[in-house]
Structure 1
Amino acid sequence: MSSIVQGFTKSLAMTVLSEIGDKTFFAAAILAMRHPRRLVLTGCLAALIVMTILSVLVGWAAPNLISRSWAHHITTLLFFGFGLWSLKEAIFGEGESEELAEVEAELDKDWKAKNGATKDSKKVDDATKKHKRPFLSQFFSPILLQAFSITFFGEWGDKSQLATIGLAADENPFGVVLGGILGQALCTTAAVIGGKSLASQISEKVIGLSGGILFIVFGIQSFLSPV
């Protein structure tokens, strides 16, 4: 039981500090300003839950592919590496304004390409078609799929994903899954409800420094703990 709680708390803290203010956080916030929040939240959360489970499965399988000793040492190095990376980004990074501008530019390009001049003329037709669609086709709407794909591929290879893999290799996988999903749910819900204003009120540097210190603390604990 204690191993589940430890994996849960580590995963929750790591996820929250890694996800607030990153690209997928801003993407969810911007999409929620343009589309129904329910669809955006469902798509983003589904992508993050799938990504968390996949990452934990990879981390859980790692000790079975290589020795547990090697998995433990690699995880320790990952924590130190991500800690230094986060501290470097916090101190020398460009900040959330540039990252937000980049995400907005990418989504604006996609938005303009899909809408164009016929946007207003299609509003009535779209509303009529929506009422005629069966429930499942409304649920798996283009908006939901867009939110899912942007979030899923935006998280792929991100340091939070790699850190989740490392954490699952060294902690209880069940606890890591629960903590990761809860952390993702909290961050995504905050982003959809008011992420842009929330991000402007939270210091990117403070979040980055906190995340970096947390990773280094995890690295020290992993280094001192037995395999």
Structure 2
Amino acid sequence: MGVSVIQGFTKSLAMTVLSEIGDKTFFAAAILAMRYPRRLVLSGCLGALIVMTILSVVVGWAAPNLIPRKWTHHITTVLFLGFGLWSLWDAFNEGEAEDLAEVEKELDANMKTSNGEKNNKDADDLKKQSRPFLTQCFSPILLKAFSITFFGEWGDKSQLATIGLAADENPLGVVLGGILGQALCTTAAVLGGKSLAKQISEKIVALSGGVLFIVFGIQSFLSTIES
């Protein structure tokens, strides 16, 4: 594994973990896992995040071929510095503290619309256990977890940062680091995310993420542009 791949991998891994812990999709996975089979929730949420990571990296990788390399480098620098300041603002204003309640409220409203399905949930779960694996891939629970996570992550700070990182670093390293980071965060959320989120200082996570983005931005600003 080359130096550029390792650098892209470590940057992507650190950025993903600090961006996703305490994020709305993290809370959504935690709450869904308390109401539905964890295996299906984990598969749906992680599948959405992997697809999102790959799409983001492809966009970031293609950008230098469509836009002059100098421009993408400067855009990436501005993105990192901007996201760093955004995260620091969130940390000091504690804007993320309401995320858990907000996501829980949204999911409760969504649950009420499908309340008729709840009465047959136990019977459905027993039936699903006897179904073939491929049939379970089309489970409404898995598809719900996938769609909530995918659209919740679309246009999010971490997605845009991944695009910027892929434009400036080795795309393979960014993909591998991003997928590993998403797998770690999503697994933690599904296995005990709600209790974990209450124990983690969201302010410290936001501060750490903000500092990391600013460090990436400064490094990008000081680095030479490869032609």
TM-score by length of 1: 0.94
Opposite residue 99 of structure 1, the aligned amino acid is D
Q: What residue number does 2:10 align with? A: 9
Corresponding position of 2:205: 207
Cα separation, 2, equivalents of 1:71 and 1:123: 49
Change in Cα spacing, 1:127 to 1:51, as seen in structure 2 (3 Å) is closer
Q: 1:12 to 1:62 in 2, by over 3 A?
A: same
Task: Name 1:78's counterpart in structure 2.
Answer: 79
1:101 matched residue in structure 2: 101
Q: Distance in 2 between matches of 1:133 and 1:196?
A: 30
Root-mean-square deviation (Å): 1.4
* 2:164 corresponding residue in structure 1: 166
2:169 is aligned with what amino acid? E
> d(CA) in 1 for partners of 2:185 and 2:195?
14
Per-residue CA deviation, residues 77-104 of structure 1 (Å, 9 max, x unaligned), is 10000000000011113332x1111100
* Pair 195,132 (structure 1): closer, same or farther in 2 beyond 3 Å: closer
Residue 132 of structure 1: CA displacement?
A: 6.2
CA distance in 1, matches of 2:121, 2:29: 23
Change (3 A) 1:131 1:91: closer
CA distance in 2, matches of 1:204, 1:176: 25
Separation in 1, partners of 2:55, 2:179 = 12
Cα 1:220–1:131, aligned 2, differ >3 Å: closer, same or farther? closer
Please give the alpha-carbon distance, in whole angstroms, between the structure 2 residues aligned to 1:45 and 1:206: 25
For residues 23-68 of structure 1, the C-alpha deviation after alignment (integer angstroms, 9 at most, x for no partner) is: 0000000000000100000000000000000000000000000111
- AA at the equivalent of 2:68: S
| TM-superposed deviation, 1:127 | 4.8
Residue in structure 1 matched with residue 186 of structure 2 by the alignment: 188
Mark the CA change 1:210 to 1:128 in structure 2 (over 3 Å): closer, same or farther: closer
1:29 counterpart = 2:30: yes
SS at match of 2:155: coil
Q: Which runs of 5+ in 1 are unaligned?
A: none
Runs of at least 4 residues off by over 2 Å: 93-96, 122-135
Identical pairs, percent: 78
User: Residue by residue, what CA displacement relative to the aligned partner does 1:126-169 show, whole Å, maximum 9, x if unpaired?
Assistant: 35643664432222200000000000000000000000000000
Q: Residue 92 of structure 1 corresponds to which residue in structure 2?
A: 93
Structure 1 pair 119/19, CA: closer, same or farther in 2 (3 Å)?
closer
Q: For 1:203 and 1:50, locate their aligned partners in 2 and report how far apart those are by CA, in whole Å.
A: 29
Distance 1:222 1:35, change over 3 A: same
Return the alpha-carbon distance in structure 2 between the equivalents of residues 14 and 166 of structure 1: 12
In structure 2, how many angstroms separate the alpha carbons of the residues matched to 1:144 and 1:224?
A: 44
The aligned counterpart of 2:114 is 114
Amino acid at match of 1:50: V
The alignment's TM-score, normalised by the length of structure 2, stands at: 0.94
**What do residues 198-221 of structure 1 show as CA deviations (whole Å, max 9, x unaligned)?**
111110000000000000000000
Over 3 Å counting, the alpha-carbon distance change for 1:170 and 1:17 in structure 2 is same
